[in-house]
Amino acid sequence: MADAQYQNLRARLRGDTRHCHAALDEQVTRLDQAGADGYARFLLLQWRLFAALEPVSQSAACAPVIRGLKQRAGEDLARLGRAADAPELPLSPHPLAVDYLVSGSRLGTQVLRKRWLERGLPEVIYACEYLSAPSYTEYWRGFTARAEALPAEGAAADRVVEDATGLFGFCLECIFAESAEGRAIHA
Protein backbone atom coordinates (compact mmCIF):
# COMPACT_ATOMS: atom_id res chain seq x y z
CA MET A 1 0.00 0.00 0.00
CA ALA A 2 1.26 3.47 -0.85
CA ASP A 3 2.34 5.91 1.81
CA ALA A 4 -0.04 8.89 1.83
CA GLN A 5 2.93 11.23 1.38
CA TYR A 6 3.25 10.35 -2.30
CA GLN A 7 1.44 12.64 -4.70
CA ASN A 8 1.75 10.40 -7.75
CA LEU A 9 3.20 7.15 -9.03
CA ARG A 10 6.54 8.70 -9.95
CA ALA A 11 7.08 9.95 -6.40
CA ARG A 12 6.06 6.58 -4.98
CA LEU A 13 8.42 4.71 -7.29
CA ARG A 14 11.28 6.97 -6.26
CA GLY A 15 10.46 6.56 -2.57
CA ASP A 16 9.50 2.90 -2.40
CA THR A 17 12.38 1.65 -4.56
CA ARG A 18 15.10 3.85 -3.06
CA HIS A 19 16.73 1.05 -1.03
CA CYS A 20 16.95 -1.48 -3.85
CA HIS A 21 17.94 1.28 -6.26
CA ALA A 22 20.72 2.37 -3.89
CA ALA A 23 21.92 -1.24 -3.55
CA LEU A 24 22.14 -1.58 -7.32
CA ASP A 25 23.89 1.78 -7.66
CA GLU A 26 26.44 0.64 -5.07
CA GLN A 27 27.21 -2.52 -7.03
CA VAL A 28 27.44 -0.65 -10.33
CA THR A 29 29.80 1.85 -8.69
CA ARG A 30 32.01 -1.09 -7.71
CA LEU A 31 32.01 -2.22 -11.33
CA ASP A 32 32.88 1.32 -12.36
CA GLN A 33 35.88 1.25 -10.04
CA ALA A 34 37.09 -2.20 -11.16
CA GLY A 35 38.76 -1.16 -14.41
CA ALA A 36 38.50 -3.28 -17.53
CA ASP A 37 36.97 -6.26 -15.75
CA GLY A 38 34.35 -4.02 -14.16
CA TYR A 39 33.50 -2.56 -17.55
CA ALA A 40 33.02 -6.05 -19.02
CA ARG A 41 30.88 -7.05 -16.05
CA PHE A 42 28.79 -3.90 -16.52
CA LEU A 43 28.19 -4.86 -20.15
CA LEU A 44 27.26 -8.38 -19.04
CA LEU A 45 24.71 -6.93 -16.62
CA GLN A 46 23.21 -4.78 -19.36
CA TRP A 47 23.06 -7.61 -21.88
CA ARG A 48 21.49 -10.01 -19.36
CA LEU A 49 18.87 -7.46 -18.36
CA PHE A 50 17.89 -6.60 -21.91
CA ALA A 51 17.96 -10.22 -23.09
CA ALA A 52 15.60 -11.15 -20.25
CA LEU A 53 13.34 -8.12 -20.74
CA GLU A 54 13.01 -8.27 -24.51
CA PRO A 55 10.50 -11.15 -24.75
CA VAL A 56 8.26 -9.86 -21.94
CA SER A 57 8.34 -6.10 -22.52
CA GLN A 58 6.67 -5.57 -25.87
CA SER A 59 4.05 -3.28 -24.29
CA ALA A 60 6.63 -1.00 -22.70
CA ALA A 61 7.17 2.35 -24.42
CA CYS A 62 10.90 1.64 -24.37
CA ALA A 63 10.66 -1.76 -26.13
CA PRO A 64 12.61 -0.49 -29.19
CA VAL A 65 15.32 0.81 -26.86
CA ILE A 66 15.62 -2.61 -25.20
CA ARG A 67 16.26 -4.32 -28.53
CA GLY A 68 18.85 -1.78 -29.60
CA LEU A 69 20.71 -1.75 -26.29
CA LYS A 70 20.77 -5.54 -26.13
CA GLN A 71 22.35 -5.63 -29.58
CA ARG A 72 24.92 -2.96 -28.69
CA ALA A 73 25.92 -4.66 -25.42
CA GLY A 74 26.18 -7.99 -27.25
CA GLU A 75 28.49 -6.51 -29.88
CA ASP A 76 30.74 -5.07 -27.19
CA LEU A 77 30.85 -8.36 -25.30
CA ALA A 78 31.81 -10.20 -28.49
CA ARG A 79 34.65 -7.72 -29.04
CA LEU A 80 35.84 -8.35 -25.49
CA GLY A 81 35.59 -12.13 -25.90
CA ARG A 82 32.87 -12.45 -23.28
CA ALA A 83 29.64 -14.40 -23.39
CA ALA A 84 26.74 -15.03 -21.07
CA ASP A 85 23.58 -17.04 -21.03
CA ALA A 86 20.34 -15.11 -21.17
CA PRO A 87 18.64 -15.52 -17.80
CA GLU A 88 14.92 -15.95 -17.48
CA LEU A 89 13.12 -13.08 -15.85
CA PRO A 90 11.19 -14.39 -12.82
CA LEU A 91 8.32 -11.97 -13.41
CA SER A 92 6.29 -10.49 -16.23
CA PRO A 93 6.79 -6.83 -15.38
CA HIS A 94 4.30 -4.05 -15.82
CA PRO A 95 5.30 -1.85 -18.79
CA LEU A 96 5.70 1.21 -16.55
CA ALA A 97 8.11 -0.69 -14.29
CA VAL A 98 10.16 -1.56 -17.38
CA ASP A 99 10.08 2.04 -18.60
CA TYR A 100 11.18 3.27 -15.16
CA LEU A 101 14.17 0.96 -14.96
CA VAL A 102 15.31 1.11 -18.60
CA SER A 103 14.76 4.83 -19.16
CA GLY A 104 16.28 5.71 -15.81
CA SER A 105 19.29 3.49 -16.43
CA ARG A 106 20.16 5.55 -19.49
CA LEU A 107 20.67 8.58 -17.25
CA GLY A 108 23.11 6.63 -15.08
CA THR A 109 24.91 5.23 -18.09
CA GLN A 110 25.69 8.75 -19.28
CA VAL A 111 27.56 9.39 -16.01
CA LEU A 112 29.41 6.08 -16.27
CA ARG A 113 30.26 6.74 -19.91
CA LYS A 114 32.04 9.95 -18.98
CA ARG A 115 34.00 8.25 -16.18
CA TRP A 116 35.09 5.30 -18.31
CA LEU A 117 36.11 7.50 -21.24
CA GLU A 118 38.12 9.76 -18.93
CA ARG A 119 40.05 6.74 -17.64
CA GLY A 120 41.13 5.88 -21.17
CA LEU A 121 40.72 2.12 -20.80
CA PRO A 122 41.50 0.46 -24.15
CA GLU A 123 38.52 -1.86 -23.65
CA VAL A 124 36.17 1.10 -23.45
CA ILE A 125 37.55 2.55 -26.67
CA TYR A 126 37.55 -0.82 -28.45
CA ALA A 127 34.10 -1.91 -27.27
CA CYS A 128 32.01 1.26 -27.05
CA GLU A 129 28.79 0.49 -28.93
CA TYR A 130 26.75 0.40 -25.74
CA LEU A 131 28.23 3.60 -24.35
CA SER A 132 27.73 5.28 -27.74
CA ALA A 133 23.99 4.60 -27.75
CA PRO A 134 21.72 7.65 -27.67
CA SER A 135 20.64 8.84 -24.24
CA TYR A 136 16.96 8.27 -25.13
CA THR A 137 15.97 11.08 -22.76
CA GLU A 138 12.66 11.38 -24.58
CA TYR A 139 11.70 7.99 -23.13
CA TRP A 140 12.53 9.21 -19.62
CA ARG A 141 10.48 12.38 -20.16
CA GLY A 142 7.59 10.29 -21.48
CA PHE A 143 7.79 7.96 -18.50
CA THR A 144 7.85 10.81 -15.98
CA ALA A 145 4.86 12.51 -17.63
CA ARG A 146 2.84 9.27 -17.51
CA ALA A 147 3.88 8.39 -13.94
CA GLU A 148 3.20 11.89 -12.62
CA ALA A 149 -0.33 11.69 -14.04
CA LEU A 150 -1.09 8.41 -12.23
CA PRO A 151 -2.14 7.96 -8.61
CA ALA A 152 0.32 6.62 -6.06
CA GLU A 153 -2.27 4.26 -4.63
CA GLY A 154 -4.28 1.34 -5.94
CA ALA A 155 -3.68 -2.10 -7.36
CA ALA A 156 -2.03 -0.85 -10.56
CA ALA A 157 0.39 1.38 -8.65
CA ASP A 158 1.15 -1.44 -6.23
CA ARG A 159 2.01 -3.73 -9.14
CA VAL A 160 4.26 -1.17 -10.86
CA VAL A 161 6.21 -0.60 -7.63
CA GLU A 162 6.44 -4.33 -6.89
CA ASP A 163 7.66 -5.07 -10.41
CA ALA A 164 10.18 -2.22 -10.38
CA THR A 165 11.53 -3.56 -7.09
CA GLY A 166 11.71 -7.02 -8.66
CA LEU A 167 13.63 -5.65 -11.65
CA PHE A 168 16.17 -3.94 -9.39
CA GLY A 169 16.58 -7.26 -7.56
CA PHE A 170 16.98 -9.09 -10.86
CA CYS A 171 19.79 -6.72 -11.82
CA LEU A 172 21.54 -7.43 -8.53
CA GLU A 173 21.18 -11.16 -9.15
CA CYS A 174 22.73 -10.69 -12.59
CA ILE A 175 25.74 -8.97 -11.04
CA PHE A 176 26.20 -11.78 -8.54
CA ALA A 177 25.34 -14.59 -11.00
CA GLU A 178 28.87 -15.73 -11.66
CA SER A 179 32.05 -14.99 -9.82
CA ALA A 180 33.79 -14.19 -13.10
CA GLU A 181 30.68 -12.60 -14.68
CA GLY A 182 31.03 -14.20 -18.04
CA ARG A 183 33.16 -16.76 -19.73
CA ALA A 184 35.92 -16.21 -22.21
CA ILE A 185 35.03 -17.38 -25.68
CA HIS A 186 37.52 -19.95 -26.90
CA ALA A 187 37.90 -20.61 -30.61
Q: What is the CATH number of the domain that holds 76?
A: 1.20.910.10
Residue 90 placed within a domain: yes
**173 assigned to some structural domain:** yes
Q: Identify whether 9 is part of a domain.
A: no
pLDDT at position 179, please? 42
The per-residue pLDDT for range 32-69, each reduced to its tens digit, is 999 999 999 999 999 999 999 999 999 999 999 999 99
Residue 20 lies in a domain: no
Mean pLDDT score across all residues of the chain: 91
Q: Is residue 82 part of a domain?
A: yes
Question: Residue 32 falls within a domain, yes or no?
Answer: yes
**Using one digit for the tens of pLDDT, what is the confidence trace for 149-173?**
999 999 999 999 999 999 999 999 9
Burial track 41-74 (b if 16+ CB lie within 10 A, e otherwise): bbbbbbbbbbbbbbeebeebbbbebbebbbbbbb
In 3D, which of 21, 75, 25, 79 has the Cα closest to residue 50? Answer: 75
Is residue 3 predicted with pLDDT exceeding 70? Answer: no
User: What is residue 4's predicted lDDT score, i.e. its pLDDT?
Assistant: 63
Q: Is residue 2 part of a domain?
A: no
Domain extent, residue 93, equals 28-179
Asked whether residue 120 carries a pLDDT value surpassing 80, the answer given is yes
The answer to whether residue 168 is domain-embedded is yes
* Start-end of H helices in 33-154: 35-53, 63-79, 95-119, 122-126, 137-148
Q: Which letter does DSSP use for residue 184 in this model?
A: E
Give the global pTM: 0.91
Domain count along the chain = 1
